[in-house]
């Protein structure tokens, strides 16, 4: 069953000289429910722009985005607010996305309060459940983001993304800022959560070895285009595009 379809999506920015910079060029792809689509490509290839366009955080020039067969391309702010329960995001830098002046309790309560999850007791219960699921100690609630390690902060960002029981998550370089040993802990956590919640996910990373671990499908981006898309294992075993081959050969132990 299809969950997302992107059709002929294009987006340009103006560079500092005022020239038009085509960042996404006629991008089309589909995802089924339960798919984890890894989007890989070098820095500047347009991965983040694609993720933000799907989340409707930036306006696109042309094309359409269908979520559960509903065209959300021109959804109003009000309609998007409802959809935010379903579609969540995890960014690379939890420091940038977690308010430093808010306790973890406030950070995790906020989406639940905004979306009227329930009364104080129900919210409290949900927060305890979330802490448990992401492997944070119970006494975390009164603490502030700076009192945690990078890996723990990413666990908080994951808990917040999960709070409203979403169906779809866009994770943009979610483990890229972490040490390798911590990276694998967070990848394992995300894999477990994908199963527990029956989630679909777009997992953006410049790091092919991370994509290989987490995704069942892979899209390779180069200069605003998807040059290759397919089953992760098959694609890595038998890449069709030269650029994919180059990416694979640049990662030690990949082939
Ligand atoms: P990636 O995530 O693959 O590194 P991005 O989507 O962040 O790539 O960026 C793709 C290109 O678009 C880059 O050349 C970047 O400089 C440019 N770009 C991204 N956002 C903006 C913006 N808001 N204004 C102008 N140029 C942008
Ligand atoms: Mg990026």
Q: Tens digits of per-residue pLDDT, 124-172?
A: 999 999 999 999 999 999 999 999 999 999 999 999 999 999 999 999 9
Mention every residue, 6+ apart, whose C-beta is less than 8 A from residue 42: 206, 222
Residue 189 has pLDDT above 80, yes or no: yes
Structure tokens at 105: 């309790």
Q: What is the mean pLDDT of residues 60-68?
A: 97
d(CA 248, CA 255): 7
For 207-245, write each residue's pLDDT tens digit.
999 999 999 999 999 999 999 999 999 999 999 999 999
Does 252 have pLDDT greater than 90? no
What pLDDT is attached to residue 255?
Answer: 63
> Nearest residue CA, atom 22 of ligand 1?
13
Instruction: Report strand pairing: 225-231 vs 217-222.
Output: antiparallel
For residue 58, what is the DSSP state? S
Residues in contact with ligand 1 by the CB-under-6-Å rule are: 13, 23, 41, 43-49
Measure the CA–CA gap between 123 and 46, rounded to whole angstroms. 37
Q: Whose CA is nearest to atom 26 of ligand 1?
A: 13
Ligand 1 centroid distance, CA of 14 (Å): 10
Residues with Cβ < 8 Å from 250, sequence gap 6 or more?
208
- 248-255 mean pLDDT: 84
Determine the pLDDT at residue 253.
78
Q: What is the pLDDT of residues 6-56, one digit of tens each?
A: 999 999 999 999 999 999 999 999 999 999 999 999 999 999 999 999 999
Please give the distance, rounded to the nearest whole angstrom, from the Cα atom of residue 225 to the centre of ligand 1.
13
pLDDT at residue 96, as a whole number: 75
Top mutation candidate among 11, 12, 23 for ligand 1, by most atoms within 8 Å of CB: 23
Atom of ligand 1 nearest to the CA of 58: 23
Instruction: Note the ligand closest to the C-alpha atom of 91.
Output: 2
Q: How many CB atoms lie within 10 A of CB 185?
A: 16
């Amino acid at each position: 069953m299809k969950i997302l379809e992107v059709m002929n999506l294009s987006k340009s920015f103006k560079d500092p000289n005022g020239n038009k910079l085509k960042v996404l060029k006629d991008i089309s792809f589909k995802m089924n429910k339960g798919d984890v689509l890894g989007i890989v490509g070098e820095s500047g290839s347009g991965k983040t722009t694609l993720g933000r366009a799907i989340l409707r955080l930036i306006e696109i020039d042309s094309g359409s985005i269908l979520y559960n067969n509903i065209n959300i391309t021109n959804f109003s702010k009000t309609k998007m607010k409802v959809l935010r329960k379903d579609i969540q995001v995890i960014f690379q830098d939890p420091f940038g996305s977690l308010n430093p002046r808010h306790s973890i309790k406030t950070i995790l309560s906020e989406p639940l309060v905004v979306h009227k999850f329930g009364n104080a007791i129900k919210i409290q219960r949900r927060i305890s459940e979330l802490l448990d699921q992401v492997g944070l100690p119970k006494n975390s609630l009164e603490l502030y983001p700076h009192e945690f390690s990078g890996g723990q902060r990413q666990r908080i960002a994951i808990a917040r993304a999960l709070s409203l029981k979403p169906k779809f998550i866009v994770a943009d370089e979610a483990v890229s800022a972490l040490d390798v040993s911590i990276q694998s802990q967070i990848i394992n956590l995300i894999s477990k959560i994908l199963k527990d919640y029956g989630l679909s996910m777009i997992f953006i990373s410049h790091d092919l070895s991370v994509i290989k671990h987490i995704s069942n499908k892979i899209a390779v981006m180069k200069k605003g285009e998807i040059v290759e898309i397919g089953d992760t294992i098959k694609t890595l075993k038998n890449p069709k595009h030269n650029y994919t081959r180059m990416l694979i050969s640049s990662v030690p132990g990949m082939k």
